[in-house]
Amino acid sequence: MDLQKLLSLTRRCIDTYSLISEGDHIAVGVSAGKDSLSLLVALKALQRFYPKHFELSAITVDLGLGNLDLEPVKKLTEDLGVPYYIVPTQIGEVLFEIRKESNPCALCAKLRKGALDDKALEIGANKIAYAHHKDDLIETAFLSMLYEGRFYSFSPLTYLDRTKLTVIRPFIFIDEADIISFAKNQGLPVCKNPCPMDGYTRRQYVKELLRRIYEEVPGADKRLFRAVIDGNIPGWPPANPNPRYNKQ
């Protein structure tokens, strides 16, 4: 995927769900993986011509595992002209050494989000952008049905009452395979996930399950995506009726 196509799908999502307003300060949560780095590049490119002016920053929450080299990410943000903040934490130590969690994902996500929110507020941001894509959206719906007994997935736009921050997800119209292609073509400094649980989670199980479904049922990915975005999930914003942006 090239930058033009990535921007087209990103803007379609932003305009469909009104994710950006005039004067926003958007903090991009940068894990240093392919998704978040691609989102940072896309939003920076969009910033140059989008009719609503917005400020951009990047934040990485370092889990403190000691195996994450962020120097290439620093260089990318400098080249892009985006302020970059690294939040050092001891989340890894708490999860794996002190608490010795066997299923740490939920607690880890909560602690990381808390650290990210605090830094976003400190730098004056009013929105946080996450790089969840189309595959994440479908996987989350399956996880919710299998393990919680309800039909749910994250919203493209979520207002957080406690912090007064708004979370936006501009990549939910984009396939993970296209992001992989984009990151590779752009030579983005993708870091390997430092978490020792990477590849051994419920999400990984669902990802592999869906891969088998897609192989056996052609077009299932498109129908599942449509089922989620048209599923009247509580908390989702109304879609812009303009077919130019709403058609997918």
243: three-class secondary structure by DSSP: helix
Across residues 68-87, what is the average pLDDT? 95
Give residue 207's pLDDT: 94
Q: The whole model's pTM is what?
A: 0.92
Nearest to 19 by CA among 158, 196, 117: 158
Closest CA to 174 of 109, 225, 234, 208: 225
Q: For the chain, how many structural domains are there in total?
A: 1
Q: Is 245 left (phi over 0), alpha (psi -120 to 50) or beta?
A: alpha
Cβ contact 166:160 at 8 Å: yes
Q: Which domain holds residue 80?
A: 3-246
Distance of alpha carbon 63 from alpha carbon 103, whole angstroms: 16
CATH number at residue 63: 3.40.50.620
Contact residues for 11 (Cβ-Cβ < 8 A; gap 6+) = 46, 50, 245
Torsion region of 26: left, alpha or beta (phi above 0 gives left; psi -120 to 50 gives alpha): beta
Closest by CA to 157, choosing from 60, 32, 59, 15, is 15
**What does DSSP assign to residue 196?**
T
pLDDT tens, residue by residue, 111-160: 889 999 999 999 999 999 999 999 999 999 999 999 999 999 999 999 99
The 10s digit of each residue's pLDDT in 190-243 is 987 776 666 567 888 999 999 999 999 999 999 999 999 999 999 999 998 764
**Structure confidence at residue 60 as a pLDDT band (50, 70, 90):** very high
Name which of 64-68, 185-189, 203-207 the model is least confident about: 64-68
- With a pLDDT cut of 70, the percent of the chain lying above it is 92
DSSP string, 6-39: HHHHHHHHHHHTT---TTEEEEEE--SSHHHHHH
Examine the pLDDT at 175 and tell me if it is beyond 80: yes
Average pLDDT taken over every residue of the chain: 91
The reported pLDDT for the residue numbered 136 is 96
Q: How confident is the model at residue 247 (pLDDT cuts 50, 70, 90)?
A: very low
Check residue 110 and give its pLDDT: 87
CB of 29 within 8 A of CB of 130?
A: yes
pLDDT at 65: 78
Q: How confident is the model at residue 102 (pLDDT cuts 50, 70, 90)?
A: low
Highest mean predicted confidence (pLDDT) among 10-14, 94-98, 111-115: 10-14
Instruction: State whether residue 165 is helix, strand or coil.
Output: strand
**What is the rounded CA–CA span in Å between residue 161 and residue 149?**
26
Q: In terms of DSSP H, where are the helices of the chain?
A: 3-16, 34-47, 71-80, 91-93, 105-122, 134-148, 176-186, 202-216, 220-229, 243-246
